Amino acid sequence: MKAKISIGVFVIGLVASGLIFMTQPAFAQSFTLDLGGDSSATTRVVQLIALTTVLSLAPSILIMMTSFTRIVIVFSFVRTALGTQQAPPNQVLISLALFLTLFIMMPTFEEVYDEALKPMMEGQMEEVEAFDRALVPFHRFMSRHVREQDLQLFFDIAKIDDTKLDGIESVPMKALIPAFMLSEIRRAFEIGFLIFVPFLVIDMVVASVLMSMGMMMLPPIIVALPFKIIFFVLVDGWYLLVGSLVKSFGG
């Protein structure tokens, strides 16, 4: 498990550095650094700067290009619907979302490792080619889950003629990534609405009972909280929720 997690983190770093070099071509062409003619020292400095940048951007890359966004938003809706304030705490929800993200994305990470990282580390491939190949599995994953309507929105904003694109595989990352995130947020809100409905019914029933008993000074949320918790436990809510989230990425 530790080895798989380390592969996932390493892949995220590789993709981040790939995005940096792909999105800054002018900077890469115009920037020069001379350290007395020692090209190896210059290369080490550039690699150190790139590594520092990757480490700082890795969390953003994780959020942008994986299943983390949908999972963490749904977990937030669950806690709000239950009305438990800080239970489970943020650290628990984010940790669970991270491990579920690694579980869902592991086939993609393994493909990146086999197709890009391993050949590059064995000297069979140049870094630039490895970056391009590392982006392909992530591109394929996002393409499966992005809405065409969201993708068209960013085509229009960026003035990209989608008729000239050779299928979904040729969609540029600058349009695919924000469209994917928008699609994930929309799906998370759809799931959140479905989660809220049964808890809202419990709140309404408890409020009606308290009002009919003349207990108007007693906040309904205090009485409804234990009923919502026991309901969620009896239906095995976490099992159903996590199973549904993971299966929603299976297509």
> What mean pLDDT is predicted for residues 119-142?
79
> Is pLDDT of 3 > 80?
no
pLDDT, tens digit, 9 for 90 and up, residues 147-181:
888 888 888 888 877 777 777 777 888 888 889 99
pTM: 0.71
> What mean pLDDT is predicted for residues 35-45?
59
109-118: long-range contacts (C-beta < 8 A, 24 or more apart)?
A: 109/4, 109/7, 109/8, 109/11, 110/4, 110/7, 111/137, 112/11, 112/14, 112/15, 112/137, 112/138, 113/7, 113/10, 113/11, 116/14, 117/7, 117/10, 117/11, 117/14
pLDDT, tens digit, 9 for 90 and up, residues 59-77:
777 778 888 889 999 998 9
pLDDT computed for residue 112 by the predictor: 81
